[in-house]
Structure 1
Amino acid sequence: MEHWTEYTRFLTALMVILDPFAAIPIFLSLTQGYSQSQRARVVLVTIITVALVLISSAISGESLLKTFGTSLASFRVGGGIVLFIMALAMLRAQADKVKTSPTEEAAAENKATIAVVPLAIPLLAGPGSISTVIIEMHRSSATYHGALVILCILITCILLWIVLRLASPIGRALGPIGRNILNRLFGLILTAIAIEIIANGLRELFPSLA
């Protein structure tokens, strides 16, 4: 039971970090004037890109850390700080500058590329989600662990696809107030997750703290 709790926690954390409800207004703005089929294609390309980025990060994360001479403990602290910054922005119902910037959003005027930039990268598959999958990949040495992490990523992407495909009715139903409430709720959850990751990293770096 404890093992499954770990994966449900990771699945929840990843969904909170990706925060598709915060992406809805940006998605609707960038695809204004698109037909239903055109929007569906943008969503599909976005989800495929997110899945590829996160799975690639999970698989190659350890090699990248070794290449840059960074320990997993240091990466946990750094990744936790990134998540904490994101959480603060969500609690304040502000645009998250770690995920995307006005410059990147303005560059998305080229409608042919919006599915990849800025929707998939960095709005959804940004520093927070990438660091989370790399950290999770190293939480266990069990033979099935990597497969379950990838399965969680795929399930998250399916849920993300559903939310974005229903972006128009969800956006109308929630309204600005509803989106702000969800963002603050997600921000509170993400704050707890970020603190836990930072604490685990600090314990590894400074064993005396344990």
Structure 2
Amino acid sequence: MIVENLGFFIYAFTSIFVIVDPVSGVVTFISLTSGMTCEEKNEVAKKAVTLACVIALFFAMTGSVILNLFNVSVDALRVVGGLLLFTIAFDMMHAKVSRESITEEEISQSQEREDIWIFPIGLPLLTGPGTISTAIVLMGGTDTFGQKILILIAIIITFVLCLYIFLFSRKIHTFIGYNGMLVFTRLMGLLLAAIAVDMAAKGITDIFNLAN
């Protein structure tokens, strides 16, 4: 049981961390906070990560209610979510900013805004449709209370790491370098693509088995 839960936790944490992908978001975060002092930058990071974490936790805990309200099955969301994650992964493998998260035009228009911790950093850079659908699918894919708690813990740990990555964003960028960021983004994209295919395949298989 312990080994099974540990394996499930690793899968849940990996899925959430890869889709949030805070390391790749460092460049965007630095760009949006370039004119701020260190204190202001840290305040933006704390507010944005807190907001993103709350949104992810909210949809994780209420996702089944939302699906039932619209009469949508978890397997249907698995298929759609898998396709969405694959499009994000495709952009990442080409070292591009995912259009699901934020566009270059949105980055440019956000430079002068005071509430960038809400949009575009908190939503959708950190918690976009991909993160939300992944959280709902993970929670809907298990009936075990213990595993549901593990998913919530995985979400919280992901955003705690995200906070520290943003707080030390300039040092990380200096240490890894721009090329290092591109390599990391491509590797995360490859891993995300595998998760996306697995998610979509499971959804299709379950739908097919249910129909028969």
TM-score by length of 2: 0.94
Q: Which residue is 2:202 aligned to? A: 200
Q: Percent identity?
A: 28
Q: Secondary structure at the match of 2:24?
A: helix
Q: Which residue is 1:169 aligned to? A: 171
Q: What is the Cα deviation at residue 143 of structure 1?
A: 2.2
Instruction: Indicate conservation of the 8 Å contact 1:203/1:209, yes or no.
Output: no
Instruction: Indicate conservation of the 8 Å contact 2:74/2:141, yes or no.
Output: no
TM-score by length of 1: 0.95
Distance 1:36 1:16 in 2: 27
Quickly say closer, same or farther: Cα 1:208–1:58, change in 2 above 3 A.
closer
- Decide which moves more: 164-173 or 199-208: 199-208
Quickly say closer, same or farther: Cα 1:74–1:28, change in 2 above 3 A.
same
Q: Which residue is 1:36 aligned to? A: 38
Task: Give the paired residue count.
Answer: 210
Question: Which sections of structure 2, spanning at least 5 residues, go unmatched?
Answer: none
Instruction: Indicate conservation of the 8 Å contact 1:88/1:191, yes or no.
Output: yes
Letter in 2 for 1:70: V
Distance 2:93 2:60 in 1: 28
Choose which of 96, 99, 102 in structure 1 pairs with 2:101: 99
Q: What is the Cα deviation at residue 106 of structure 1?
A: 3.1
Instruction: Indicate conservation of the 8 Å contact 1:76/1:197, yes or no.
Output: yes
Alignment deviations for residues 105-131 of structure 1 (CA, whole Å, 9 cap, x no partner): 233234321111001111110111111
Q: Which residue is 2:130 aligned to? A: 128
Alignment deviations for residues 133-185 of structure 1 (CA, whole Å, 9 cap, x no partner): 10110222122222221111111111101111110011112222101100111
Quickly say closer, same or farther: Cα 1:107–1:144, change in 2 above 3 A.
same
Letter in 1 for 2:186: R
- Decide which moves more: 98-107 or 112-121: 98-107
Alignment deviations for residues 65-90 of structure 1 (CA, whole Å, 9 cap, x no partner): 12222111110000000110111111
